[in-house]
Amino acid sequence: MDTMALIQGLDLLGTLAFAVSGAVLGNRRHLDLFGVLVLACVSAVAGGIMRDLMIGAVPPAAVADWRNLAVAIVAGLAVFRFPALPERMRFPVRFFDTVGLGIFAVTGAQKALTFGLSPPMAAVMGMVTGIGGGVLRDMLTARVPVVLEADIYALAALAGAMPVALGHWAGMPILPMTAAGVGLCVFLRLMAIYRGWRLPRAE
User: Residue 203 Cβ, how far from its own copies at the closest point, in Å?
Assistant: 7
The span from the CA of 129 to the CA of 106, in Å, is 9
Instruction: Report if residue 19 touches its own copies, rule: CB under 8 A.
Output: no
195 binds its own copies, rule: CB under 8 A = no
- d(C-alpha 131, C-alpha 55), whole Å: 16
CA 188/CA 176 separation, integer angstroms:
18
Rounded least distance, CB 2 to its own copies, Å: 28
Task: Number of residues interacting with its own copies: please give it, by CB under 8 A.
Answer: 54
Name the region of 142 (left: φ>0; alpha: ψ -120 to 50; beta: rest).
left
x-marked contacts with its own copies along 101-130 as a string, rule CB under 8 A = --------------x-xx-xx--xx-----
- Distance in Å, CB of 151 to its own copies, minimum: 8
Contact call for residue 196 and its own copies (CB under 8 A): no
Asked if residue 161 lies in contact with residue 113, where contact means CB atoms within 8 angstroms, the answer is: no
Nearer to its own copies, 10 or 62 (CB): 62
Query: Judged by CB under 8 A, which of 44, 155, 161, 184 binds its own copies?
Result: 155
DSSP 141: T
Are 137 and 46 spatial neighbours (Cβ–Cβ below 8 Å)?
yes
User: Is residue 30 at the binding interface for its own copies, with CB under 8 A as the rule?
Assistant: yes
Residues 122 and 155: their CA atoms lie apart, in Å, by 15
Between CA 36 and CA 47 the distance in angstroms is 18
CA pseudo-torsion sign 116, 112, 109, 1: negative
| Residue 140 in contact with its own copies, rule: CB under 8 A | yes
Query: Interface with its own copies includes 169 (CB under 8 A)?
Result: no
Report d(CA 90, CA 59) in Å as an integer. Answer: 35
Binding-residue pattern over the window 34 to 53 for its own copies, x denoting contact by CB under 8 A: xxx-xx---------x---x
Kindly state whether residue 85 participates in binding its own copies, applying the rule CB under 8 A: no
Min separation Cβ 79 and its own copies, Å: 8
How does 52-61 read in b/e, with b if 16+ C-beta sit within 10 Å? Answer: beebebeebb
Binding-site ranges for its own copies (CB under 8 A): 26-27, 29-36, 38-39, 49, 53-56, 58-60, 63-64, 66, 69, 79-81, 83, 115, 117-118, 120-121, 124-125, 135, 139-145, 148-149, 152, 154-155, 198-203
